[in-house]
């Protein structure tokens, strides 16, 4: 299914409202790194995000080492950033 990419105005709103999410160099995506006390805390967060991803039908690219979780969001169906990424990023921040 196709969905619209964010326009320039939506992008500035996105970056102004989402804390510590950054544009990825060389692709239309955003990334944020989350740090936790230990692996169990990090994995608990990943479990919450997994449920959110299913609920939103939007799934993160992510990388975990011990207490660090790096999450990248983009919309393959839009070939870049869409409102779905804003919505999921906001929900992820609330689960942190
Ligand atoms: N997740 C992400 N990050 N991007 C997508 O384009 C996407 C997704 N598409 N999760 C969804 C699932 C799509 O495959 C289903 C069919 O809606």
- Beta-strand ranges (E) seen in the chain are 22-23, 30-35, 61-65, 68-73
Nearest alpha-carbon partner for 4 in 88, 87, 84, 59: 84
Nearest alpha-carbon partner for 71 in 90, 17, 3: 90
Average pLDDT of the chain to the nearest whole number: 96
What is the average pLDDT across 27-51?
98
User: Beta 61-65 vs 68-73: how paired, if at all?
Assistant: antiparallel
Global pTM? 0.94
82 lines ligand 1 (CB under 6 A): no
pLDDT above 80 for 87 = yes
What pLDDT band is residue 2 in, cutting at 50, 70 and 90?
confident
What is the average pLDDT across 11-18?
88
Give the whole-angstrom CA distance, residue 70 versus residue 62. Answer: 5
Q: Whose CA is nearest to atom 14 of ligand 1?
A: 77
57 lines ligand 1 (CB under 6 A): yes
Res 14: pLDDT:
82
Res 1: pLDDT:
66
What pLDDT band is residue 80 in, cutting at 50, 70 and 90?
very high
Classify the C-alpha dihedral 13-72-91-67 as positive or negative.
negative
What is the average pLDDT across 3-24?
92
Give the whole-angstrom CA distance, residue 14 versus residue 20. Answer: 11
Q: How far is the CA of 58 from the centre of ligand 1 (A)?
A: 5
């Amino acid at each position: 299914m196709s969905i619209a990419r964010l326009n320039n105005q939506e992008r500035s709103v996105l970056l102004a409202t989402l804390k510590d999410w950054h544009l990825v160099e060389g692709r239309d995506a955003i990334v944020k790194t989350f740090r936790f006390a230990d692996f169990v805390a990090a994995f608990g967060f990943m479990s919450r995000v997994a449920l959110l991803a299913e609920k939103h039908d939007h799934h993160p690219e992510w990388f975990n080492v011990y207490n660090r979780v790096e999450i990248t969001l983009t919309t393959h169906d839009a070939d870049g950033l869409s409102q779905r990424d804003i919505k999921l990023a906001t929900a992820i921040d609330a689960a942190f």
